[in-house]
Structure 1
């Protein structure tokens, strides 16, 4: 379940008559517990509660119902219960059906509520559903609750009005929803003269039985499109007295017709329920991203998942420009001249989000800048001064029309809320209506539009005549804009989409940007297009751009493709945030791993590199350089090498069968060949690739050397296998494979004799493992082409590969396959910078490798997957790896590295020095000329 679904279930429970016996189970069901889980609790199989009326779900919650007036004492009993401690519960909860109290055990945070209103605290309990709580949701549940109510209304209206779901009418439906949102907000914030005016009018004037809800709402919308200053205008428009109380809104929001979909009795109920929420507390900065899912068929199934938390947005905006404004504010002190200059500067700052969705980044930027401006006004003793920050300084591009409308509406709501907060309700209301009829959010494909035309640095922008804000042509903005000397910042969270998941249209978008400029552009993530467009924009006018992106654009082969282009425009990385989880409100969903990268042609001398540890603690490093891998290092791009950089063994692919499966055997097939078909055991070898090694799967292969082919062919069973291989290869369209039909006993690609020791390296390994699961195989083992191998290599090479140092290098320069580590011999092993090792170093590392292998062997038959599961890793194996890391890292810097950031900085420094040394031309020997 997601947060919206949970809120709906909790709300339904709070509205149902209280049943003391059933409440604990209904509460758990509301947070997504399965029927089988609840059935076991009912039976008492898993319920270990020692409190009367209690239910204890281990690792989750201990809750109990009680007699009226006994809530506090029952909560104390739950807190003191030995089973609460033993069960490691996250929450305790007690209720008597009149009040409800609960406590989060980890931090002692508590809630107390009337039972009928406890649904408003559903965010407090989201960890019960595996959703990490987010402060904004805990503090104000209105955004999720409103989304759920509107979603129900939207679906009910589409069911009754299927024609409104078509492409021809979808815009009408979305426009209708935007009008409703405005009305709900306006009636609870003083914009309308009377709290609940819209909802109460619909309730009073419409009749569920007669079905006139549609006509009532249409009349209200019509009234808000007729001016009130002209006393005769409303009479001429025949506005009835009961609708004449609604103000003139303008701005195009209620222009262009008053079509309203047909309402069923249920739809009317859903509308009234939505209106009864307290929309005064709405957060336009986070509400927008959730409400856009209401009108999006693809996103509705994941309703509530696309929540973007304010702290995450500020990770982009703070280092982009807000931190600098706050620093200037502090430096100005109470100097009124400096404060005035800063206020003028703020009024000229423009923020552009070319993937704005429902406007989250723009709204947060606006609200933060208003807060700084308000502090300036306070210090200058001008608290009532009207804001000089125009909404039209905050522009965006959004592909879909409904989010674009919501973005404009969210900014309007944000402006009103800021005016109420900083200037007072009376001033805010007086200046709010009528709305301006401007369009400054463009609906279109950001990768196809001309950003410079939509967001010119100075002068007049593209102008299109329009009837108003919400009816304007969405293809272009229409603002006359003068901003000489202003600053320009580009930001956002564009769609990521890896190359394998891009639509044909998205691939075409990237082709239009990259084709002819860089090679291998087809492998780029979709978000790369925004970086390239921002860099092109920055060549025309000074700007700083920062986007949230998948961390894959700063790993592996994408680095060379994308960042060579970005750096070629003269841009550098101004600041960055290394990989972290961009969490959402989906249950059991950890979110995608992202980075934040800021680029500019004029970076500051000291750049900021942000990072956070696994426990969420943040850190920032000030550095002179940030490279494309988001490491504090000189700018360098690691490309594949044909030979190792250091004095280490050569790593090759394993052997490719290219046999149609006829040279490969299961363990049972191998035993059958040996026992029933008299196949010589010399011709059957262990066969191992990535999965065989990691999962412990036993496979065999037929391995025949040239000198033994005639002998092997005498065996009918083997001869039949060879015939099958010959036939399969002969059918191939590839000439190389056809030629292999002449050697049907041999693998298609052979890279070993079959008598070497093998150090095997899986080509893909889970991101959860703390070390790469490298292995050592005895002589006679055949390595699959689905793994890499070092043949007859000294064992100390294994110690290098098994180290934390090598893992972080691979994760950075090789990149990921989905979220797993993807290994490459040419890009990962051959580039791995290893300092010159003494013979003693090699002896020490060999011993470390032996200790790792012996620690694994002690846990036979546990598989590598079992042994390297972080939750199950045996202590002796962990100690062996830590010992290996200590020995190796002392070779590098004389001590253990403090963290992975320091590891990467050293590795890139060493890589830079080693490649530079190899690139130097050999000194020419000048011979002395002989004299007579």
Structure 2
């Protein structure tokens, strides 16, 4: 498949739009425009790759498209097609129906729809970008009730808190308020979806309560009691139309106090009831939840709502893809289809950090849709089977959750009920069989509790029948952001907790839970646990000798629908007991086979890089941190201060040198520093400005609590750490933006002192520059280096000293030097631009890209004769070489002993 960028796709789709007429060739041209291989499209065209049921009017390719021609209305056709067992069987990403005038498409992964004149296809080219390996950043537009409800529920919550100031001080006040809001959510949904009479709840509040809100609490208590009463004769006449719900949702006890209402609160309640709740997405209830609860309460625990496509990155490879393959294999066999039904009916799904339940909801819906596809095929083979399946075998009792927040638990339970009702509606639409939601027979298995200290086996017990899949998006929280209580939590699962992210507890507990069983696990987590020092601390505890990573999604950015949503860089990691099943690495929506996935999410041996004091590769020179003044700013000069000092005291110029940190180097800024030898202290101190600055250094150091800093107070002319050598030097910024394709590495001359915010290589030859700036080295740095927020953090001890470079001939170094000088020449040609501007991925000059491409090609040839198509291949070879070189190093050390 050709890898294309956005502009290239736009240009390739443009000629397909605006034509006078269209025919079957349209779909083949469209696939080619998104970079699908010519050979595949040819085989699809001639029928050898076409898996459609009716090849005369349909074109279907597994995982890609189901395309259907029609002479009628596309809307009438696509509703049946999108849930057909064939579309489910072949895991089709896009379903397209067209009469060659209009085109209707559905993205089955995100739920998005497209209805356009077919000649306008070029204007909507972004809809099919996943074909080109570009997933959509905004996957699902929220249903209109979701956004408005989140905002208005928040207003109602605030108004009720204001009207009931003592409620949170009550023993069960917070819980009562939480339960009350989940009841409201259920009632609004129920009156818009046929569970209650249409608008029955909102109309009852408006008709039977005073405008000032004074009796709303009393009336709602009566409504809730009616909803919990099975015998209609025991209900007041005016509430007799409210059905029995059960499921403990409306149980009225002394703990379930309804808050007192004001006129404003009553108005907000009725206003909420006028929204259309029928299409509410229960998996987006997390965003509602965040808008309702006290700001910051849950964010401290790292809660993030995860979008549907990112949830599917856990569910699909974990179990759903395998189930669909089983459907495909048994598509024509009643016996095998029935066996698959039995299998999925016994599956348990467990989220030990479930929040408001979005992972569980999507897993439930996907299993129900698979069940519908199996039944559809069974009824097609033998209609008699329809008598045997009058309801779903997928029980919400098989969906387990642990959540520390009480309100989120209530919302998760409610959301599962809503998801069940929605899937029952799909069942009725498909098979004309109604499955009533109420009375609720299932309450789910979601519990309140601290997942780190809880016994997971007690929450979701093993049994001989069920397959168990653990999944979720546990809270991340870096080691510096954890509270004392969270540190204590971590300490209960590992002694080596001080430098670990909070999510590590879920990995360690999850590994212990699945160890020695058929259970599998997949978590969305920050990529920090696959980089830097954490790898060596965490992963030996996770793997032990029994577990492996079965699949992984390498780093990707995601954000969500929730208010103030976090935008973080994530990975997905699937853990299992070691098996003969294939291993997959997903990168840029491409699935790669792997022999073994190591903790850096590369195809390579299990390796944990520690700090090295010297380069692994003998050819590489030393790279160390620059000079640290620790001077309170007194030895550092701005341009203005430097110019004024030299103008007044020209003899001082010999003590002034450039001072370069990462920010100055990348952004083309200048600072200066005073470097005064001990022997010149007396003469330099005769200048008042210098004297005051040296006194400032002394004062700053004397205030320090560090003994080593205080000891240098008597030598204010000296840097705390001075590494500078009078030679041309390579500067490597210690922090650099993740957006850049290359870390802006470069040279400074002997008059510039590199600061401790940089790494400096003195007397460096140009060939080393090529190695450091190569794509191969960048891939290594991204994989094993740490992060400072979202930026790359370059380390000499982890990244550089561990970087494997094979022995280089003199000729190879000369060729590397030539391409290095080419990059430096091009930079000089663009000297009016800073490195930040030159390496901005959106504006990087073409000649600079080409110069770097020459370095990349040459460095690649050092590692592989076959070349590389992906960064994953580069990384796999690097780890293999690292293993080989460290083994040789160990053997050499043993011989010396």
**Normalised-by-shorter TM-score class:** 0.7 to 0.9
Greater radius of gyration (CA): 1
The SS at the match of 1:610 is strand
Matches within 5 A, 1:301-340: 307-340=305-338
Q: Separation in 2 of the partners of 1:308 and 1:923?
A: 50
> Which among 273, 283, 288 is matched to residue 285 of structure 2?
288
Determine helix, strand or coil for the equivalent of 1:162: coil
Gap change, CA 1:181 and 1:372, over 3 Å in 2: same
1:188 aligned residue (186, 192, 195)? 192
CA distance in 2, matches of 1:723, 1:438: 72
The answer as to 2:615 corresponding to 1:644 is yes
Q: Secondary structure at the match of 1:789?
A: strand
SS of the aligned residue for 1:442 comes to: strand
Question: Is structure 2 residue 448 aligned with structure 1 residue 448?
Answer: no
| 2:540 corresponding residue in structure 1 | 564
1:692 aligns with 2:668: no
From 241, 252, 255, the equivalent of 1:256 is 252
Cα distance in 2 for partners of 1:536, 1:636 equals: 21
- Which residue does 2:651 correspond to in 1? 679
Alpha carbons of structure 1 residues 924 and 797: separation in structure 2 relative to 1, 3 Å: closer
Distance 2:294 2:600 in 1: 37
Partner of 2:767: 796
Question: After the TM superposition, which residues 214-293 of structure 1 pair with which residues of structure 2 at under 5 Å, given as runs?
Answer: 214-228=217-231, 231=233, 234=234, 239-257=235-253, 259-284=257-282, 286-293=283-290
- 1:498 corresponds to which residue? 478
Alignment correspondent of 2:105: none
Question: 1:718 Cα shift?
Answer: 4.4
Q: How far 1:486 moved relative to its partner?
A: 1.6
1:525 aligned to which of 498, 501, 504 = 501
Q: Distance in 2 between matches of 1:559 and 1:368?
A: 33
Q: Secondary structure at the match of 1:282?
A: coil
Q: Assess if the C-alpha contact under 8 Å between 1:362 and 1:394 holds in 2.
A: yes
Taking the aligned partners of 1:714 and 1:273, their CA distance within structure 2 comes to 78
Q: 1:510–1:526: 8 Å Cα contact kept in structure 2?
A: yes
1:170 aligns with 2:166: no
Q: Give the Cα–Cα distance (whole angstroms) in 2 for the partners of residues 801 and 355 of structure 1.
A: 41
Secondary structure, aligned partner of 1:500: helix
Deviates more, 1:434-443 or 1:638-647: 434-443
Measured after TM superposition, the shift of residue 456 of structure 1 is 1.4
Aligned residue among 322, 331, 339 for 1:341: 339
2:287 touches 2:562 (CA, 8 Å); kept in 1?
A: no
CA distance in structure 1 between the partners assigned to 2:194 and 2:705 by the alignment: 75
Pair 1:895–1:859, CA change in 2 (3 A): farther
Tell me if the contact between 2:584 and 2:593 (Cα under 8 Å) persists in the aligned partners.
yes
Paired position in structure 1 for 2:778: 807
Map residues 145-160 of structure 1 onto 2, 5 A cutoff.
145-160=148-163
Matched residue count:
759
**2-side partners of 1:372 and 1:670: how far apart?**
72
Gaps of 5+ in 1: 1-100, 111-122, 124-130, 459-483, 613-617, 926-932
Task: Determine which of 595, 599, 618 is the counterpart of 1:628.
Answer: 599
Question: How far apart, in 2, do the equivalents of 1:396 and 1:821 lie?
Answer: 35
Please tell me whether residue 917 in structure 1 is matched to residue 888 in structure 2: yes
1:778-803 Cα offsets, whole Å, 9 max, x none, are 12322222211111121221222222
Tell me the CA shift for residue 586 of structure 1.
6.7
2:835 is matched with 864
Match of 1:611 in 2: 587
Q: Could you tell me which of 550, 561, 574 is aligned with 1:574?
A: 550
Give the deviation of 1:549 after TM superposition: 0.2
Kindly tell me: are residues 563 and 359 of structure 1, through their superposed partners in 2, closer, same or farther at Cα, counting changes over 3 Å? same
Please tell me whether residue 394 in structure 1 is matched to residue 399 in structure 2: yes
Distance 2:535 2:678 in 1: 44
Alignment RMSD, CA only?
Answer: 3.1
Aligned counterparts of 2:797 and 2:411: Cα–Cα separation in 1: 49
SS at match of 1:523: coil
Give the direction of change, closer, same or farther, for the CA distance of 1:860–1:423 in structure 2 (3 Å limit).
closer
- Please give the alpha-carbon distance, in whole angstroms, between the structure 2 residues aligned to 1:301 and 1:487: 31
Task: Report how far residue 185 of structure 1 moved.
Answer: 2.1
- In structure 2, the residue matched to 1:598 is 574
CA distance in 1, matches of 2:227, 2:886: 71
Kindly tell me: are residues 906 and 195 of structure 1, through their superposed partners in 2, closer, same or farther at Cα, counting changes over 3 Å? Answer: same
> Deviation per CA, 1:321-356, whole angstroms, max 9, x where unpaired?
111111112212232322232222222211100011
Q: CA deviation at 1:611?
A: 1.4
Indicate conservation of the 8 Å contact 1:250/1:437, yes or no.
Answer: no
Tell me how far 1:244 sits from its aligned partner. Answer: 1.3
Closer/same/farther in 2, CA of residues 881 and 924 from structure 1, 3 Å limit: closer
Structure 2 Cα separation of the partners of residues 922 and 504 of structure 1? 43
Secondary structure of 1:869's match?
coil
TM-score with structure 1 setting the length? 0.76
Point out where structure 2 has 5 or more consecutive residues left out of the alignment. Answer: 1-114, 128-134, 380-384
Distance 1:209 1:141, change over 3 A: closer
Please point out which of 543, 549, 569 is paired with 2:519.
543
TM-score (norm 2): 0.79
What are the Cα deviations for residues 160-206 of structure 1, in whole angstroms up to 9, with x where unaligned? 333345564222122111112222222233323x3222222223323
Q: 1:824 to 1:402 in 2, by over 3 A?
A: same
* Contact 1:610–1:620 (8 Å) recurs in 2: yes
Give the Cα separation in 2 of the matches to 1:133 and 1:725. 50
Deviation at 1:297, TM superposition (A): 1.3
Distance of aligned partners of 1:662 and 1:189 in 2 relative to their CA distance in 1, 3 Å threshold? closer
8 Å Cα contact 2:139-2:309 kept in structure 1: no
1:513: how far off? Answer: 1.5
Instruction: Give a deviation string over 1:88-119, Cα, whole Å, max 9, x none.
Output: xxxxxxxxxxxxx9999886469xxxxxxxxx
CA distance in structure 1 between the aligned counterparts of 2:298 and 2:494, rounded to whole angstroms = 34
Of 733-742 and 382-391, the range deviating more from structure 2: 733-742
